[in-house]
C-alpha cells in the first residue's frame, strides 16, 4: 500500500514527486509510455525560470527526476492500463500488476494527435513524425510537409527551415488558429509555402517503408495532387491521456480532466495536474506549479485522514 502514486513522469508528475518526497511520503511515479513527457521531445527551453541561458528539455526532466529521487521518490517504468477510484484505497493496474494507494496524482499529460490514416500509421518513425524538434535534423536539404494551422504548426515549420530546403504547410481551412505573431513569422519565411483548404489524404509509400510523397486533396475544388516530400510532420494538437478514467472522473468534451479548483477532482484523494487537466496554458512552469499543488493537497488529505483515524 502506497501513500502517493503519481501517474506520469513529465514536468507535473516529477514536481509532484519532489514535493511528496520532501513530505516524506515516498511517492511512486509510474513513468508511462512517453516517459519524461513533452519536454523530452523539445530542444532548448528558454522560458523556464532560473535558466537564463536556456536548458535542453530532456536535461531539465532528468534533473527534476534526480531531484525528486534524492528525497526518496521511486520510479517504475510501465503504463497504467486500469484504475479503480470508486473505493479507497484506490487501485491501479500497471502492466498487469495491481497497486494500491491512499492518494492518486494524475499527471498523465496529453499525447500528439494523429491524422488517423493507415499510411500515416505505417510510416511513423519512417518520415512521419509528430516532433519537429526531434526529427527535423534528419531532413537536411529535403522537402517536407507540416500539417496543421495552430501555433505548433507555425513553430514547427519555422524550426524545420533550419534543415529542410522547402516546407509546405498544409492546413484544412483558410483561417488559422495560430497567433498573429507566429503566423506572420511563418508567412515571412521564404522557405515556407502555405497550402490551405487542403487535407492530407494519403502518405506514400508504406510499401517502400519511407515517405516519398503526400497525396493532397483541396476540399473546395476536390483537386488531388501528389507532392514529393521526404517527411510529414503532423502538428494538429494533442489528446489528453484520460481514457482509463472515463466514467470515473469528470471530463470536458475533449477528454481533459475537470479540476475545480485545480488540482482537485470530484473524488477526495485524487488530484490531477499538468496538461491532462490544462488545455489553456500547457507550459512547463505551469505544469510544475500544478504538480506542486497536487502533492500539497495529497499531503493534507493524508494528514486529515490520519487524524480522523485516531
Interacting residues with ligand NDP (CB under 6 A)? 115, 147-153, 155, 172-173, 177, 236-237, 282
Closer residue to ligand NDP (CB): 10 or 148: 148
Least gap, CB of 180 to ligand NDP (angstroms): 11
Phi, psi torsion values for 21, nearest 5 degrees: -65, -40
Q: Find the shortest distance in angstroms from Cβ 306 to ligand NDP.
A: 40
Asked if 184 and 161 touch (Cβ cutoff 8 Å), the reply is: no
C-beta of 91 vs 283, nearer to ligand NDP: 283
| Active-site residue identified among 3, 135, 168, 275 | 135
Question: Which of 262/269 has CB closer to ligand NDP?
Answer: 262
- CB nearer to ligand NDP: give 137 or 281: 281
Q: Does the annotation count 11 as an active-site position?
A: no
Shortest spacing between CB 96 and ligand NDP, in angstroms: 33
Nearer to ligand NDP, 16 or 235 (CB): 235
Long-range contacts, 184-191 (Cβ 8 Å, 24+): 185/154, 185/158, 186/154, 186/157, 186/158, 189/157, 189/158, 189/161, 191/161, 191/164, 191/165, 191/166, 191/167
Q: Which residues lie across from 22 on neighbouring strands?
A: none
Looking at the Cβ atoms of 25 and 145, the one nearer to ligand NDP is 145
- Cβ-proximal residue to ligand NDP, closest one: 150
Task: Give the three cell numbers for residue 202.
Answer: 494519403
Angle between helices 284-309 and 11-22 (to 10 degrees): 40
What's the closest the beta carbon of residue 130 comes to ligand NDP, in angstroms?
10
What is the three-class DSSP state of 213?
strand
Q: Are 158 and 148 in contact (CB under 8 A)?
A: no
Shortest Cβ distance from residue 112 to ligand NDP (Å)? Answer: 9
| Active-site hit among 3, 11, 95, 134 | 134
| Distance (Å) of CA 73 to CA 9, 252, 283, 290, 292 | 11, 31, 23, 18, 14
* In the complex, least distance from residue 255 CB atom to ligand NDP, rounded to whole angstroms: 14
Does residue 100 contact residue 81 with C-beta atoms inside 8 Å?
no
Contacts of 269 (CB under 8 A, 6+ apart): 88, 90, 102, 103, 104, 298, 301, 305
Identify whether 273 is a catalytic site residue.
no
Q: Which residues are catalytic?
A: 131, 134-135
Amino acid at each position: 500500500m502506497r501513500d502517493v502514486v503519481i501517474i506520469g513522469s513529465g514536468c507535473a508528475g516529477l514536481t509532484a514527486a519532489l514535493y511528496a518526497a520532501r513530505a516524506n511520503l515516498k511517492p511512486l511515479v509510474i513513468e508511462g509510455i512517453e516517459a519524461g513527457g513533452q519536454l523530452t521531445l523539445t530542444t532548448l527551453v528558454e522560458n523556464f525560470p532560473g535558466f537564463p541561458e536556456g536548458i535542453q528539455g530532456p536535461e531539465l526532466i532528468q534533473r527534476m527526476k534526480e531531484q525528486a529521487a534524492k528525497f526518496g521518490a521511486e520510479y517504475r517504468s510501465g503504463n497504467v492500463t486500469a484504475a479503480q477510484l470508486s473505493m479507497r484505497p484506490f487501485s491501479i493496474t500497471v502492466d498487469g500488476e495491481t497497486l494500491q494507494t491512499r492518494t492518486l496524482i494524475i499527471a498523465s499529460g496529453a499525447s500528439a494527435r494523429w491524422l488517423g490514416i493507415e499510411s500515416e500509421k505505417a510510416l511513423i518513425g519512417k518520415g512521419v513524425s509528430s516532433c519537429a524538434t526531434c526529427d527535423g535534423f534528419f531532413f537536411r536539404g529535403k522537402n517536407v510537409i507540416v500539417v496543421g494551422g495552430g501555433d505548433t504548426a507555425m513553430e514547427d515549420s519555422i524550426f524545420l527551415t533550419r534543415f529542410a530546403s522547402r516546407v509546405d504547410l498544409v492546413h484544412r481551412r483558410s483561417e488559422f488558429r495560430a497567433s498573429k505573431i507566429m503566423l506572420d513569422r511563418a508567412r515571412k519565411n521564404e522557405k515556407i509555402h502555405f497550402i490551405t483548404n487542403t487535407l492530407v489524404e494519403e502518405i506514400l509509400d508504406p510499401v517502400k517503408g519511407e515517405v516519398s510523397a503526400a497525396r493532397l486533396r483541396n476540399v473546395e475544388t476536390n483537386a488531388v495532387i501528389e507532392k514529393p516530400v521526404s517527411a510529414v510532420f503532423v502538428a494538429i494538437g494533442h489528446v489528453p491521456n484520460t481514457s482509463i478514467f472515463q466514467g470515473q472522473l469528470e471530463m470536458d468534451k475533449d477528454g481533459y480532466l475537470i479540476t475545480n479548483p485545480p488540482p482537485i477532482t470530484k473524488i477526495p484523494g485524487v488530484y490531477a495536474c499538468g496538461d491532462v487537466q490544462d488545455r489553456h496554458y500547457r507550459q512547463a512552469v505551469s505544469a510544475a506549479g500544478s504538480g506542486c499543488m497536487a502533492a500539497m493537497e495529497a499531503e493534507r488529505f493524508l494528514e486529515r485522514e490520519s487524524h480522523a483515524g485516531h
